[in-house]
Amino acid sequence: MEAEPLFYKWFTTHFAGCENIHYHGWLNVPDAPFQAIANACIGTVCVSVSEGGAGATVQAMQFGCIPICNDVVDDATFLKPAGTGVRLAGKTPEALKTALIDAIKLLDGFSDSELQQMSTQSGAYAATHHSKAAYTQSFKNVLQQIDA
């Protein structure tokens, strides 16, 4: 994030006093520090106007994090099975902020068993559809269609 000085300044200015938001710098997914963070979280928030299926969201889902995404990131992929996550409505920063607050309140109202079920569904969906084996098969299918 430090490579983007304007964003880094904005981020640190707006979130410096938030006890729930911690900046950890670069973390590798297979390493213990990332796994410890993912295992301590119930969800992952990814709001973007440019990514159609963010890899970071998929990686967090593989650890059971519930995806909280806008429709640009989700693109009917992560939240396809009902109960896997929360889709944020809206396109403007204000609408997305309101939707994110509503999503957090929604999740906060779920019981531990409901959250565990969503977490399990999220992890299972990511493991089935966003694994190396799934990507390999998808790529083979594309090559076969091109070759046909």
pTM over 0.85: no
Question: What was the pLDDT predicted at 79?
Answer: 64
Q: Mean pLDDT in runs of 10 for the chain (148 residues)?
A: 79 77 79 88 79 74 88 63 78 87 90 92 87 88 89
Question: What was the pLDDT predicted at 119?
Answer: 92
Question: What was the pLDDT predicted at 112?
Answer: 92
Question: What was the pLDDT predicted at 145?
Answer: 92
DSSP count for the chain of H helices, then E strands: 7, 3
Give dist(CA 18, CA 37) in Å, integer: 17
Question: What was the pLDDT predicted at 82?
Answer: 63
State how far the alpha carbon of 50 is from the alpha carbons of 43, 46, 74, in Å. Answer: 21, 11, 11
